Amino acid sequence: MRSILVKEYLPSKNGWEESIFHTANGYLGIRSCSEEGVGDDVFSVLGGYINGFYDIKDISYGEKLYGFPETAQTTVNITDVQGVKLFIGDEEYSLSSGKILKYEHELFMDRGYQEKRILWRSPSGKEVYICVCRMASLVQKHLFILNYKVVPVNFSGKVTIKSSVVGDVENFASADDPRLAGEAQSYLVVDEADFVDDGISLMLSSTKRSKLQLYCAVKHRYSKAFDVEYKKEGNVLTTVFTASAKQDKAVFICKYCVFVDSRRNDNPKEKSLEIVKEAFLHPIECFMNKQQKYLEKFWDTSRVIVEGKKLQRSMDYGLYSLLCSVGRDGISSVCAKGLSGEGYEGHYFWDTEIYIFPFFLLTNPEIAKELLMYRYNILPKAREHARIMGHDSGALYAWRSITGSECSAYYPSGSAQYHLTGDVSHAFVQYYLATGNIEFMQKYGAEVLIETARLWMDVSHEKDGNFYIDSVTGPDEYTCIVDNNYYTNCVAKENLYWAYKIMEILSEKDLDKDIIKMLKISDKELKSFKKASDKMYLGYDEKLGITPQDDSFLSKAKIDLSSIPEDKFPLLLNYHPLWLYRHQVCKQADVVLAHSMFEDYTDKKTMEKSFLYYEKITTHDSSLSSCAHSVLASKIGDMKKALSYMESSALIDLEDTHNNTRDGIHTANMGGFYNCIVQGFAGLRIKEEGLYLNPQLPPKWDGYSFSLYFQERLVSVKMTKKHVTLRLLDGEPINLFLFGDKIKLKDKERISL
């Protein structure tokens, strides 16, 4: 398994390094900040986050109209446990003083931890080797471990380590970037801070407005050579370790840091102390062994083998980061930046359902189910949001949120993106088709499908035998408030059909009575869903032979993207929205994404012409764009372009091609990179009839391979220049479609074509 390794410390890349090497487990995330801190001239975001742990802030408007959200939720920078200061005699270790003789920062994706190895010479000539290991436990989600080891290289003498727990923290902000908070704020208030139970640093903090509580408990293991002293100064708890260290003899401290929040626990104080005391009984090696075993199982079914060392490293990093970002408790989902930074303020978007969910659906259906449970649990908020937006019935999911209420202050590219509701229903449908879990659909999924279908019935209108949807925004945020956005109409069409279909399936199994009674569903209403789906308007331009993005898009002025200076990208930071709205320019895949997801709604020739048309006017200012173009390029058979777009997607974070990884990784793109291979190159589609595969090989590639779960079977797919080989690794025999032909896979059987 390839690791991520940096061999030189560059202050100019400090923010990037903090994001790339962040430590997370889906619940807890800690940016990889220098323990001793950095200078004021070095970009750094000292941050730690808990998935779904938030506070509330006011939204200010110059002119506030009805229905605009008055407040928003934002993720909270939590208690800082990263601080460790090292003193060699009276000299303080710092990356900005003395001389760095060797620097290595490495993330081990097969073992689940990162390690910094530094050889440093002090201004007076003393050399010291420092090894820092960090791990967020994948088996104990509340636990973060920081192991700090020091080896005197050319001297013996006094070594002092000061380990701190700091309660006064604030969130990062940038007034010039709408993807970040506009004003730095401190959301946590320290209520209690003291040493308890033989040296445990215990700190209770609470959010100012959401009134959530967070307990942080820290306990140290350390070398016997150390004398220990405890100091409390305001909201800073410092444990001081002092030793007379010997040359070439290592001394260490190991911080066991436990975070427990009140959203998920009734008694977070008791829970935090219980966990930290239990963890303290075991050396870090014990947790490393458990971490490695967990990851062995993960990689066994999740790894995708691709061509090229650089691409394989990016794929491994992407899938590892998805695992470390995903909420697994029905309370949280996947933040736009995972748990690596504060970009988009920790909000959940459509990214999860369309770009990330497919990976978990095919590799870990249980995690996929928890992502759906998050959407089910906020369904009451979606109903409430629909009423605010003027709909008498149905559920409308908020564009960006944490607990379900709308957090977008700019409705043209926020609340107007009704397609999110269809994206959510799409994920429920895909889950049912991939798992066959009808009990889940009876208890949860059908309710979501019915309520979202009711939303489409309320927002659409019938005219001349067709159903139309007016005044919405599709995925392309450079084109807002339009009629009949093709992508939106596609997800609505599918949503309406499956609201009807799932009730038909439940009726056949005599499982429909409770939900009919609860939601007061009539046969007339179900038939109206089916009719609206059948008659949903999907535009087509006869002259160009393409799919119009919306009713007015093709009549707008054209611009030559090559005429725009490079320093004006991304356009959203350099051009007024109205200027963008008046031109044929796309921020990201819109029609292209619709065609890749709903290939049966049109013919291949239209897809091909549409791809070529929109390719010329798409900026790819969104990290969600290149991967979608890659998938459709594969579908139309242009494997050269498919590979090019896939490579562009692969390098966004590790090579920082969008120049903003310092604000956090692009989590959804990592799912998109996976989709480039599985949905794109392999042509995988999950349809009502079953699983379809249409594998192709990019030019100059020798092959690729992956495994997937489908209806409780584990299947491997391997593509080479000569063969495509399918094998049933586990489960009962199953029928699949390969190149359009139905085949039957039997136990341990290989089928090669």
- Residue 466 tokens read as 């067709």
Q: In what order do the strands lie in the sheet with 734-738?
A: 685-687, 690-693, 734-738, 741-745
Could you tell me which of 709, 25, 732 has the C-alpha nearest to residue 365?
709
Statement to judge: residues 560 and 655 lie in one domain: yes
Statement to judge: residues 256 and 362 lie in one domain: no
Contact yes or no for 745/751 (Cβ under 8 A): yes
Residue 352 DSSP code: I
On whether residue 697 sits in a domain, the answer given is no
Task: Check whether 498 has a pLDDT greater than 90.
Answer: yes
The model's pTM is 0.97
Task: Check whether 209 has a pLDDT greater than 70.
Answer: yes
> What's the distance, CA 286 to chain centroid?
29
On whether residue 26 sits in a domain, the answer given is no
Domain count, the chain: 2
Range of the domain at 467: 313-681
pLDDT at residue 612, rounded to an integer: 98
Statement to judge: residues 208 and 264 lie in one domain: yes
**Domain final position from 639, 664, 681:** 681
Helix axes 379-388, 365-377, angle to 10 degrees: 40
Q: Cα–Cα distance between 375 and 393 in angstroms, integer? A: 18
Statement to judge: residues 283 and 361 lie in one domain: no
Q: Cα–Cα distance between 650 and 499 in angstroms, integer? A: 36
pLDDT at residue 366, rounded to an integer: 98
Contact yes or no for 541/566 (Cβ under 8 A): no
Task: Check whether 753 has a pLDDT greater than 70.
Answer: no
On whether residue 639 sits in a domain, the answer given is yes
Residue 100 DSSP code: E
pLDDT at residue 173, rounded to an integer: 75
Taking only the tens place, the pLDDT of each residue in 641-683 is: 999 999 999 999 999 999 999 999 999 999 999 999 999 999 9
Please work out, in degrees rounded to the nearest 5, the angle formed at the alpha carbon of residue 214 by the alpha carbons of 52 and 342. Answer: 40
Q: Cα–Cα distance between 15 and 33 in angstroms, integer? A: 8
Statement to judge: residues 236 and 286 lie in one domain: yes
Contact yes or no for 182/59 (Cβ under 8 A): no
Sign of the CA dihedral 609, 611, 614, 617?
Answer: negative
Taking only the tens place, the pLDDT of each residue in 589-600 is: 999 999 999 999
Please work out, in degrees rounded to the nearest 5, the angle formed at the alpha carbon of residue 272 by the alpha carbons of 271 and 273. Answer: 95
Contact yes or no for 405/347 (Cβ under 8 A): no
pLDDT band with cut points at 50, 70 and 90 for residue 454: very high
- Residue 629 tokens read as 């173009």
Task: Check whether 749 has a pLDDT greater than 70.
Answer: no
pLDDT at residue 507, rounded to an integer: 98
Could you tell me which of 210, 214, 170, 220 has the C-alpha nearest to residue 192?
214
Contact yes or no for 46/34 (Cβ under 8 A): no
Task: Check whether 752 has a pLDDT greater than 90.
Answer: no
Q: Cα–Cα distance between 687 and 691 in angstroms, integer? A: 6
**Domain final position from 663, 681, 699:** 681
pLDDT band with cut points at 50, 70 and 90 for residue 748: low
Statement to judge: residues 464 and 340 lie in one domain: yes
Among 1-15, 136-150, 264-278, 540-554, the minimum mean pLDDT is found in 1-15
Taking only the tens place, the pLDDT of each residue in 714-734 is: 999 999 998 999 999 999 999
- Residue 180 tokens read as 């970040």
Q: Cα–Cα distance between 569 and 621 in angstroms, integer? A: 7
Q: What is the largest CA-CA distance in the chain?
A: 89
Q: In what order do the strands lie in the sheet with 713-720?
A: 703-710, 713-720, 724-730, 750-752
Contact yes or no for 96/40 (Cβ under 8 A): no
Mean predicted confidence (pLDDT) in 444-460: 98
- Residue 570: is the preceding peptide bond cis (ω within 30°)? yes
On whether residue 719 sits in a domain, the answer given is no
Please work out, in degrees rounded to the nearest 5, the angle formed at the alpha carbon of residue 204 by the alpha carbons of 203 and 210. Answer: 145
Taking only the tens place, the pLDDT of each residue in 525-534 is: 999 999 999 9
Statement to judge: residues 568 and 664 lie in one domain: yes
pLDDT at residue 747, rounded to an integer: 75
Mean predicted confidence (pLDDT) in 171-197: 80
pLDDT band with cut points at 50, 70 and 90 for residue 603: very high
Mean predicted confidence (pLDDT) in 48-76: 95
Instruction: Catalogue the active-site residues.
Output: 477
Taking only the tens place, the pLDDT of each residue in 394-420 is: 999 999 999 999 999 999 999 999 999
Q: Cα–Cα distance between 62 and 164 in angstroms, integer? A: 43
**Domain final position from 681, 701, 717:** 681
Task: Check whether 388 has a pLDDT greater than 90.
Answer: yes
Q: Are strands 460-463 and 466-469 parallel, antiparallel or unpaired?
A: antiparallel
pLDDT at residue 179, rounded to an integer: 56
pLDDT at residue 175, rounded to an integer: 57
Statement to judge: residues 512 and 420 lie in one domain: yes
Q: What is the Cα gyration radius of the chain?
A: 27
The helix or strand, by DSSP H or E, that contains position 455, with its residue range, turns out to be helix 446-459
Statement to judge: residues 318 and 378 lie in one domain: yes
pLDDT at residue 543, rounded to an integer: 97
pLDDT at residue 174, rounded to an integer: 67
On whether residue 49 sits in a domain, the answer given is no
In this structure, which amino acid lies at residue 532?
A: A
pLDDT at residue 318, rounded to an integer: 98
User: Of all residues in the chain, what percent carry a pLDDT higher than 90?
Assistant: 95
The helix or strand, by DSSP H or E, that contains position 164, with its residue range, turns out to be strand 157-166
In this structure, which amino acid lies at residue 599?
A: E
